[in-house]
Amino acid sequence: MRSYRALISSTLDSLEPPGDQRLAASVLEPAFVHPLFQRVLIDVVRSRGNNMPVIFDEFFVRLYRLGMQSATAVLGTNPDIAVYAKIFTSGVLPLAVTLTTDKIYKAFLGQDKATARGHSYTAHAWV
């Protein structure tokens, strides 16, 4: 676990842009690497103190594909944002769901942010 932590920390340090810029988010498909590596990745990202959100794009994992409702059960942690698309209609209809923490949800409240979100899968990605 220490070697995972060291590898992830040094990689994030090398990717961090200079100056006031910072990495925006950690986006991962939660079933491509060993669960311990991903759990350590999430712990390191959250311990850095820069409020970088952890986003699960559960494209391959899907609901119950691993025998559990989602990858959160495998990793033992919840993401800040979870994105599910194509899993409900097998890609026949453009249906997607985004789940977030209350903190992130509240950041999108208000008239000026009413269309500041959307799924690219529905061909209406508003950002």
Residue 52 lies in a domain: yes
Taking alpha carbons only, the member of 101, 104, 123 closest to residue 113 is 104
Residues 17 and 30: their CA atoms lie apart, in Å, by 25
Residue 19's pLDDT is what? 86
| Domain of 51, in residue numbers | 24-109
Residue 117 lies in a domain: no
Is residue 110 very low, low, confident or very high in pLDDT (cuts 50, 70, 90)? confident
Most confidently modeled of 11-25, 62-76, 113-127?
Answer: 11-25
Residue 44's pLDDT is what? 96
Residue 100 lies in a domain: yes
Residue 1 lies in a domain: no
Residue 120's pLDDT is what? 58
Residue 54, CB-side half-sphere exposure with 13 Å CA sphere: 20
Residue 90 lies in a domain: yes
Residue 125 lies in a domain: no
User: What integer is the mean pLDDT of 44-73?
Assistant: 82
Of residues 85 and 19, more confidence is placed in 19
Say how many domains are in the chain.
Answer: 1
Region of poorest pLDDT, from 4-8, 58-62, 93-97, 114-118: 114-118
Residue 114 lies in a domain: no
Residue 126 lies in a domain: no
Taking alpha carbons only, the member of 60, 41, 48 closest to residue 16 is 48
